[in-house]
Amino acid sequence: MNRHAPEGVSSSPLTSSPLSSNPLSSTAAASGTVGSTATLRDGAPPPTPATADVAPNHTVHDGADLSVEDGILGALSPSRASDFMTCPLLYRFRVIDRLPERPGLAATRGTVVHAVLEELFDLPALDRTPERAGVLVRPAWERLLAAEPDLAALFTDDADGSALAGWLSSAAELVGRYFTLEDPRRLEPRERELYVETVLDSGLVLRGYVDRLDVANGGAMRVVDYKTGRAPGAGYEAKALFQMRFYALVLWRLRGVVPRLLQLVYLGSGEVLRYEPDEADLRATERKVRALWEAISRAVATGDWRASPSKLCEWCDHKVRCPAFGGTPPPLPTLPLQPGRGAVVDDRTAVDAPTPRQTHFDDV
């Protein structure tokens, strides 16, 4: 683990020029992989919220329908895996009950900042300046608002527009801080907001969105994730690194090559965490993911979804219905059973696309 809080702008030799074809689009003959795909958002459509979360006998993979007869157990993303590790009851509320969540200022700001950093690399290299990036903030918010009109509720009491102006200024400040950590004029990411998916030999589908993938001329990969919150304190990096190891595992299964570097860019505190994984790390991550899925399956089968109170509960939309705070969860929905396997939840919509409908605890 390398924690970096630079005084100036860092540079990196791990860059590449854009290619006309997607370097991750083909299925790699990686050990333990049933099938795999990597798709940009403007390419083949990934799973969408319109697809039911609870459908254990049917899932979508690589443009084809896969069912339990194909050996598919279900699907898991880093966000939903993190939910279960944080609080099994939170996982239940989001994946099984599919309870709505109010849009939050911090999470919505994170969505806007991610959009700006993605759009930044559409500009010519010399135009990737703090000034140009700052100009992109308001249009990014306006596009998001047009797509999600309910977000207007965040500023219903803002008669003079000062609250919105301050919020947009805070987003611009985070974008500006990015330039103290990297020089985007020296970077040409291979992919941005890349949807990746693979099937483990256990039948579990792993999927998610990678914020940025840099590929060197020799093929070395750097996986980059932006966080608009503050970096975790020393000794508390494991949760954040699990997400990155998850992505590294999927990319390893896709390409047969372990990513050279995992990089977390914390815009809230102006720090960068870097980690160099190896095969042993990723095999351990795969074992952990399998164990998590087994625990989720047991919870589905037994109906035992336990709350795990923590300081994060203060930002949880479901605190009012949590038994740990005197609330009562809604009745569990009836789940269909997989023949011979018991009830299993398919976490198909839980990809890591930034969404204001889901609280990003790392952005709070």
pTM for the model: 0.79
40 pLDDT more than 60? no
Averaged pLDDT, 168-174: 98
Cα 46 to Cα 21, 207, 334: the distances in Å are 18, 9, 26
Report the mean per-residue pLDDT for the chain. 80
Reduced to 3 states, what is the DSSP secondary structure of residue 12? coil
Q: Residue 238 corresponds to which amino acid?
A: A
Lowest mean pLDDT among 8-12, 82-86, 211-215, 245-249: 8-12
Q: Say what percent of the chain tops pLDDT 90.
A: 67
The pLDDT value given to residue 70: 60
The pLDDT value given to residue 336: 55
Grade residue 237 by pLDDT with cuts at 50, 70 and 90. Answer: confident
Lowest mean pLDDT among 107-111, 159-163, 341-345: 341-345
26 pLDDT more than 90? no
For residue 142, give every residue at least 6 positions away whose Cβ sits within 8 Å of its Cβ, in sequence order, or none: none
245 pLDDT more than 60? yes
Return d(Cα 97, Cα 261) in angstroms, integer.
37
For residue 162, give every residue at least 6 positions away whose Cβ sits within 8 Å of its Cβ, in sequence order, or none: none
> Per-residue pLDDT tens for 262-314?
999 999 999 999 999 999 999 999 999 999 999 999 999 999 999 999 998 99
The pLDDT value given to residue 76: 95
The pLDDT value given to residue 23: 30
18 pLDDT more than 80? no
> Per-residue pLDDT tens for 211-220?
999 999 999 9
Return d(Cα 240, Cα 156) in angstroms, integer.
34
347 pLDDT more than 90? no
Beta strand ranges found along 124-183 (DSSP E): none
7 pLDDT more than 60? no
| Distance, C-alpha 31 to centroid of its chain | 25
Grade residue 3 by pLDDT with cuts at 50, 70 and 90. Answer: low
Token duo for residue 94? 């989001």
Return d(Cα 204, Cα 224) in angstroms, integer.
24
Concatenating the DSSP letter of every residue in 178-244 gives HTTT--GGG---SEEEEEEEEEETTSEEEEEEEEEEEE-TT--EEEEEEESSPPPPTT--HHHHHHH
Strands 33-40 and 191-200: antiparallel
Averaged pLDDT, 208-233: 96
Return d(Cα 172, Cα 254) in angstroms, integer.
35
Grade residue 234 by pLDDT with cuts at 50, 70 and 90. Answer: confident
> Per-residue pLDDT tens for 42-82?
443 444 332 223 223 333 333 334 444 467 889 999 999 99
Return d(Cα 32, Cα 184) in angstroms, integer.
36
Lowest mean pLDDT among 6-15, 224-233, 275-284: 6-15
Averaged pLDDT, 5-32: 35
> Per-residue pLDDT tens for 189-218?
999 999 999 999 989 999 999 999 999 999
Q: Phi and psi for 125 in degrees, rounded to 5? A: -50, -45
Grade residue 99 by pLDDT with cuts at 50, 70 and 90. Answer: very high
The pLDDT value given to residue 105: 96
Residue among 226, 228, 224 nearest 106 (CA)? 228
The pLDDT value given to residue 71: 75
The pLDDT value given to residue 73: 84
Task: Give the CA count within 13 Å in the CB-facing half-sphere of 35.
Answer: 12
| Distance, C-alpha 206 to centroid of its chain | 12
Q: Identify the helix (H) or strand (E) that includes residue 273.
A: strand 271-275
Averaged pLDDT, 312-336: 90
260 pLDDT more than 50? yes
